[in-house]
Structure 1
Amino acid sequence: MNIVLTGATGFLGARLADQIDRQGDLNLTYIVRRALPAGDKCEVVMGSLDACTDWSAALKSQEVVIHAAARVHIMKEEVADSLAEYRKVNVEGTLNLARQAGAAGIRRFIFISSIKVSGEQTAIGQPFFADDVPSPEDFYGISKHEAEQGLRQIAAETGMEVVVIRPPLVYGPGVKGNFASMIKLVGKGLPLPLGAVHNKRSLVALDNLVDLIITCIDHPGAANETFLVSDGEDLSTTQLLQGVAEAMGKPSRLIPVPAGLLQFGATLLGKKAMAQRLLGSLQVDISHTRKCLNWTPPLTVKQGLQRCFPNQQD
């Protein structure tokens, strides 16, 4: 089977490409922004991802597109109209690719979306479900939601199967962003006032997400479905920090400060959004994913965290 992968050099794309290359019956074409080092990889260099990109060379003789490239969530924006920038890549670029894919006879289009389409938080024990009414709040989530809507319209018009996957926070070797910052703090052995946080958050190990994507390449049950994904084991921030410390072989120096006090202090300091990420809950229910695909996350949270620090394993 011939597969096109966008975002092939990113955090998710690089790992996904490596695993697809290990499948003897899958032929992968890498879509990259600049040429890779010389080797035996089949690649197509695309300088941009927008409404004007010509995908004809990349889509020729292909069967499946996995679209992992995106303008990702940015904490400190430096553009005047960030929603327009998100839409340029995540909506217009995605739908341009999908329209050309449909016209080229691509059988299935797998779109890596985000749980931010569903919303930013849940009450404990009230997870997001795949068929919930979307409620995106930030520009990134809005752009992903608009892309999903456009893809479903294209699927209806062309007959191309569309698969949408909405992951929560993805962690693994080489992770960046907030998770990397947390790893750095734990690694320094600094006391952290997060020893009494009783929230619940769903996460997904990089290799669990990769496994699901590969499952969706040709599984008949994936056609035109939306899947939520996680490790199947929700953690509090306290439990996550303890797990990271254990995987690193470091002590977890967590001070049990009441969450309400932390929330109050963060509000006074103008760090309300940061407090939400540390203290709030965001759970997803993956029963639909399990049932449709007969899929189970191959790694536990503990195993996923251990893969973040391979040098610490015995």
Structure 2
Amino acid sequence: MNAPLVALTGATGFVGRHLLSDLRAHGYRVRLLLRRPTEAAPDADSAVIGDLARPMNMARALEGVDAIVHSAGIAHAMSGRPEDDYRSVNTEATIALARAAERGGVRRFVFLSSVRAQTGPCADGVVDETRPAAPTDAYGRSKLAAEEGLATLGLDWAALRPVLVYGPGVKGNMASLARLAATPWPLPFGGLRARRSLLALENLAEAVRTVIAAEGRLCRPYLVADDGAWTLPEMIAAMRRGSGGRPMLLPVPQALVSALLRVAGRGEAAERLTGDLVVDTGALKALGWRPLVATPDGLARLARDAAA
């Protein structure tokens, strides 16, 4: 019973489910902070706090808690949501939970923010935390505003800014890419040269445990990504090799692919496919974090799991 007690929000989501199993596998006690009792997991303590924007019973829910890992929120993939929704859930609810943590004597608050709090979907050069934050959409602005709110409190905190996360159960853009890679046809992406950082679920979980255990006060954001950055052809080739196939990528010029996507009304997709987003994780590595999974291996396993 001397193991640290971590309170976790968002445990029913893609990232939260993995964090729950990872924390327990590494000896942490975990208490789930839930909206309703039906979300309780059989292998974890739980406390029902209701709506995060208007939580209840927080003193009791946080009793004995050493750290909070806050992974709940409105995801970037939920397009079309009004900006007020992002601010209410991603900003105001985060700050309300952190204030409750401060009152309850919680040692550290770990906030799962996003690279989109730092930058838009693409960026020139390698991005690190010293570059002024310049989010370009409601999602990114809501995450940055939450970080800024945390900075006004006396509570010790860390905001992890992950790039695009992949792993079992992934949805959104990475799930679409995995489905595309699983087709037997040649794909017209061999000419794309933009490089992007990615993040395996296991490496994100390692980052969470690193900042939970870090000594001293943190009170800052940390970018999180696998080592290296990869072109779309390299990602597809890794996935196809993982499922026993060949890359089969046609060298269609990048400018033509971009033009066709823009004509089809997929301007942001064109920007993602033809623009770089490479991040530097030196600040997190200074705390002792090291990625456990290499991107090509993680993508190959994702493809194998999808084909199983």
Band the TM-score falls in, shorter-chain normalisation? over 0.9
Offset of residue 235 of structure 1: 0.2
TM-align CA RMSD: 1.9
Residues in 2 aligned to 1:194 and 1:221: alpha-carbon distance in whole angstroms: 46
* Structure 1: segments with no counterpart, 5+ residues: none
Confirm or deny that 1:129 pairs with 2:124. Answer: no
Runs of 4+ in structure 1 over 3 Å off: 309-313
- The TM-score normalised by the length of structure 2 is 0.92
Instruction: Write the deviation string for residues 208-266 of structure 1: whole angstroms up to 9, x where unpaired.
Output: 01011111112116622321111111001111111111122233232111011111222
Query: Does the aligned pair in 2 maintain the 1:237–1:279 contact within 8 Å?
Result: no
In the other structure, the counterpart of 2:11 is: 8
CA separation of 1:266 and 1:309: change in aligned 2, threshold 3 A: closer
166-175 or 265-274, larger mean C-alpha shift: 265-274
Report the equivalent of 1:117.
117
1:301 aligns with 2:285: no
1: CA distance between counterparts of 2:216 and 2:128? Answer: 17
Shift, 1:36, TM fit: 3.9
Task: Tell me the distance in 2 between the aligned counterparts of 1:222 and 1:188.
Answer: 48
> Offset at 1:71?
0.6
Alignment partner, residue 139 of structure 1: 138
| Residue pair 1:189, 1:252 contacting (<8 A) in 2 also | no
Counterparts in 2 of 1:75 and 1:37: CA distance versus 1, 3 Å: closer
Query: Please, which moves more after superposition, 271-280 or 104-113?
Result: 271-280
- Comparing 179-188 with 167-176, greater Cα deviation is found at 179-188
Distance 1:168 1:135, change over 3 A: same
* Paired AA for residue 5 in structure 1: L
Matches for 1:241-260 after TM superposition, within 5 Å: 241-260=236-255
The counterpart of 1:235, out of the listed 230, 234, 252, is: 230
Could you say which residue in structure 1 is the equivalent of 2:26? Answer: 23
What secondary structure sits across from 1:101 in the alignment?
helix
Matches within 5 A, 1:218-233: 218-220=213-215, 223-233=218-228
Q: Tell me if the contact between 2:210 and 2:288 (Cα under 8 Å) persists in the aligned partners.
A: no
Q: In the alignment, what sits opposite 2:178?
A: 183
Give the aligned length.
302
- For residues 124-155 of structure 1, the C-alpha deviation after alignment (integer angstroms, 9 at most, x for no partner) is xx11111211000011000000000000101x
How many percent identity over aligned positions? 34
Distance 1:17 1:282 in 2: 29
Counterpart for residue 105 of structure 1:
105
CA distance in 1, matches of 2:289, 2:41: 36
Q: What are the Cα deviations for residues 79-121 of structure 1, in whole angstroms up to 9, with x where unaligned? A: 5xx1000011001100110111101111100011000011121
For 1:198 and 1:174, how far apart are their aligned partners in 2?
Answer: 28
Q: Summarize the Cα distance change of 1:248–1:31 in structure 2 as closer, same or farther, 3 Å threshold.
A: farther
- TM-score relative to the length of structure 1: 0.91
1:288 aligns with 2:283: yes
2:148 corresponds to which letter in structure 1?
A: Q
